[in-house]
Amino acid sequence: MSLPLAPSYDVVVVGSGPTGSTYVREVFERRPDARILLLEAGPKLGDPPGGHVKNIDGDEPRARAQRASEGPAPAAPGRPGTRLLGTPDLPAAAISTNVGGMGAHWTAACPRPGDSERIPCVPDAEMDRHLTRAEELLHVTSHAFDRAPFADVVRQRLAARFDAGRPVSRRVAPMPLAVTTRPDGTHAWSGTDVILGPAAADPRVELADTCLCLRVLHDAGTVTGVAVRDLNSGRETTVTAAAVVVAADALRTPQVLHASGIRPAALGRYLNDQPQIVHAVRLPDDVVAAHDEVTGRTREDDGGIVPQSGVSWVPFTDEHPFHGQVMQLDASPVALADEDTVRPGSIVGLGWFCAKDLDPEDRVTFSDTETDAFGMPRIGIRYRCTDRDLATIEAARNAVAEAGAALGDPLGGEPFLLPAGSSLHYQGTTRMGPADDGTSVCDSHSRVWGTEGLWVAGNGVIPTATACNPTLTSVALASRGAHALAEQLPRRTVATAAPTAG
C-alpha cells in the first residue's frame, strides 16, 4: 500500500502477527464504533492476507512467499520464510517480516501452559477463559491426526515412560494444533487470516502492508499516534490515535518503544529463548508390521504434514522442566540405506524445549548510532546459560534419549542441542507484572507503565520461564488486553470517513 493513510484512527496496531490480529478482532467485535489501522512492515503473501504458507498450492508459489518474508538481510539456513538477526550470543535468532508475521510460518502447536509456566499476576480462572478464547480464535483441535498410523502406539510407549505421578492434564496426549480438517481430508493451517475472520473484510479495519512504524508518538505521558514510513515510496507521515498496540514480536516491539523514547527499566530485559534438544528414531519393524495403516496420501497433498503424521505432546511439569513435541514423519531426517523403505509415520522426530532461568541481564539492546536494514536502531543481544540451565539441558537430553529408546532405534546419533535461538520462541522482553517496580514493562492487561493509551503484545509479554510453544499463551494475553482496551477506548473519537486510497 502507498501512503497517504487517513489522518486518524481509534486504534493503531503495529504488527499483523497472531497477537496484533487478536487485538484487531477483539476490538472490532467489542467496539463497532471503532476504526482500526493494522500496520505491517512486510508484504502480503497471498490471498487471503495473513494465510499460512502451507496452504499455498505448489512448491514454487510457496517458496516465493517464503522468500518475500525474509526481508533485506540474509535468510536463516534451513528456516524458509525467516532471516537471521546476526547476533553472536543467539546465533540462530531469526525473524519474519510479512503480513501474518510468524503466524504464516509456524508449526501451529498450541499446548496450554502448566505449573510454573502459568502467569502469576493473572487469576487462573480468568486465564483459562482467555486460553479457551485463544483456542477459538486459532481454530485449535487435538483431533486433526486421529487417523495417523502408529500414533497410538507412540503415545502408549511415551505414556508408559512419562505419565507416572502426573495429573491428567499433564500426561502424554495428542498435540493441540491450530489446523482445520477439510471435507476431503486435507488440512488448512491457521494463519492470522483465521484470527481476523470477518474483521479482515470490514471497511472499519484497514491493513497497510509495507508500512513501517518508526515511532509511537506521545505527549505528557499519553499516546497521540504513530509515525509511519511507506517502504515502497519512502514517504513518511503521521496518524493520530486514541490507543496504540505494538505487537511487532519479542525483538522488534522493544525496538519500536526504544526508538520512541519509551524506555521502562525492564525494556528488552529478561529475554527468554528455549534451549532445544532434537533426536530421531525409527519404529521397530515388528511395530510397523503390527500397525500398518498407510492411507496413500502424500506430503504435497497436505502442505507438509499428512494423515500419516501424528503429533504428540509430553507436557512441561515443574519436576520435568521441559516440553516434548513428537512428530511422526513421512520421510527420514537423516540419510538411510538405499534399500531401506520408510513407511509414513514410522520415523519419529523428537524435540524437547527447556525452560530457562530468567535473568534481567539476558537482554535485547539497541544502538543509538547504528541502524538496521529498515533504518531502526540496530539490535544487539546479550545472552548466557547459567549452571542451572546447563543442568536442565542435560536432563532434557537424557529425557529425549529415554523417549527415543522407548520408541525405537536411534537415527543419526545421540540427541543434540541446537544453536541458541533455534526455538524461535523468544519471550520476556516486554514482560507483564503486578506493579511498576522496574521488573516489568506492562501491567497484567498489557498496558505499558507510564504511557497512557499504549499496549504491547506478543510472546514478549510472557513473564514466566516457559518450555511450551508460547503462541496460545500470548494470544490469550492479547485477548485479555484487547478487552481492557475496548472498555477504555473513548467513544467515537474520529470521523467515519473512509481513508484516501493511494
List pLDDT tens digits, range 10-60. Answer: 999 999 999 999 999 999 999 999 999 999 999 999 999 999 999 999 999
Q: Does residue 383 carry a pLDDT above 60?
A: yes
Q: Residue 334: its pLDDT value, please?
A: 53
Whole-number Å distance between alpha carbons of 21 and 453: 18
CA distance to 89, 145, 445, per residue, from 149 (Å): 41, 9, 43
Q: Does residue 198 carry a pLDDT above 50?
A: yes
Q: Residue 331: its pLDDT value, please?
A: 53
Q: Residue 343: its pLDDT value, please?
A: 72
Q: What is the DSSP letter of 264?
A: -
The distance between the two most distant Cα atoms of the chain, rounded to a whole number of Å, is: 72
Q: Does residue 298 carry a pLDDT above 70?
A: no
The verdict on whether omega for the bond into residue 344 sits within 30 degrees of 0, i.e. cis, is: no
Q: Do the Cβ atoms of 403 and 326 come closer than 8 Å?
A: yes
Beta-sheet pairing, 236-246 with 8-14: parallel
Taking each helix axis as running N to C, give the angle between helix 18-30 and helix 471-488, from 0 to 180 degrees, rounded to the nearest 10: 30
Q: Residue 286: its pLDDT value, please?
A: 83
DSSP SS3 for 254: helix
Q: Residue 497: its pLDDT value, please?
A: 40
Place of cell 541446537: 418
For the chain, percent of residues with pLDDT exceeding 90: 80
Q: Does residue 391 carry a pLDDT above 90?
A: yes
Whole-number Å distance between alpha carbons of 414 and 278: 9
Phi and psi of 427, rounded to 5°? -145, 170
Beta-sheet pairing, 36-39 with 205-208: parallel
Helix (H) or strand (E) holding 152: helix 151-162
Taking each helix axis as running N to C, give the angle between helix 471-488 and helix 124-138, from 0 to 180 degrees, rounded to the nearest 10: 100
Confidence of residue 4 (pLDDT cuts 50, 70, 90): confident
Q: Does residue 309 carry a pLDDT above 90?
A: no
Q: Give the mean pLDDT of the chain.
A: 91
Q: Does residue 307 carry a pLDDT above 60?
A: no
Confidence of residue 76 (pLDDT cuts 50, 70, 90): confident
Convert 203-217 into a string of H (helix), E (strand) and C (coil): CCEEEECCEEEEEEE
Amino acid at 451: T
Whole-number Å distance between alpha carbons of 271 and 274: 10
Q: Where are the domains of the chain?
A: 1-139+190-271+427-502, 142-189+275-354+384-419
Question: What mean pLDDT do residues 3-9 have?
Answer: 89
Mention the CATH class of domain 1-139+190-271+427-502: alpha beta
| Helical spans, DSSP H, in 377-470 | 387-407
Grid cell in block for residue 320: 520435568
Partnered with residue 352 across adjacent β-strands are 277, 324
Pick the more confident residue, 329 or 218. 218
Nearest Cα to 350, choosing from 205, 161, 481?
Answer: 161
Confidence of residue 491 (pLDDT cuts 50, 70, 90): confident
DSSP SS3 for 367: strand
Pick the more confident residue, 103 or 339. 103
Q: Do the Cβ atoms of 387 and 257 come closer than 8 Å?
A: no
DSSP SS3 for 468: coil
Pick the more confident residue, 494 or 326. 326
Question: Model confidence over 84-107: pLDDT tens digits?
Answer: 998 999 999 999 999 999 999 999
Q: Does residue 302 carry a pLDDT above 70?
A: no
Q: Does residue 463 carry a pLDDT above 90?
A: yes
Q: Residue 2: its pLDDT value, please?
A: 57
Taking each helix axis as running N to C, give the angle between helix 18-30 and helix 124-138, from 0 to 180 degrees, rounded to the nearest 10: 100
Question: Choosing from 52, 105, 139, 425, which is the catalytic residue?
Answer: 425
Q: Do the Cβ atoms of 431 and 440 come closer than 8 Å?
A: yes
Whole-number Å distance between alpha carbons of 257 and 269: 13
Nearest Cα to 12, choosing from 349, 240, 215, 175?
Answer: 240
Whole-number Å distance between alpha carbons of 246 and 97: 15
Whole-number Å distance between alpha carbons of 251 and 246: 12
Environment class of residue 48 by beta-carbon count within 10 Å: exposed (0-12), middle (13-18) or buried (19+)? middle
Confidence of residue 499 (pLDDT cuts 50, 70, 90): very low
Partnered with residue 9 across adjacent β-strands are 241
Q: Residue 498: its pLDDT value, please?
A: 40
Q: Is 425 a catalytic residue?
A: yes
Close Cβ partners of 230 (under 8 Å, ≥ 6 residues apart) = 1, 2, 3, 210, 211, 236, 237
Whole-number Å distance between alpha carbons of 498 and 490: 19
Whole-number Å distance between alpha carbons of 312 and 109: 10
Environment class of residue 221 by beta-carbon count within 10 Å: exposed (0-12), middle (13-18) or buried (19+)? exposed
Strands in 276-282's sheet, in edge-to-edge order, are 173-174, 311-314, 322-329, 347-354, 276-282, 409-417
Number of Cβ within 10 Å of residue 145's Cβ equals: 26
Question: Model confidence over 139-185: pLDDT tens digits?
Answer: 999 998 887 778 888 999 999 999 999 999 999 999 999 999 888 87
Convert 39-61 into a string of H (helix), E (strand) and C (coil): ECCCCCCCCCCCCCHHHCCCHHH
Q: Residue 495: its pLDDT value, please?
A: 42
Nearest Cα to 346, choosing from 294, 409, 283?
Answer: 283
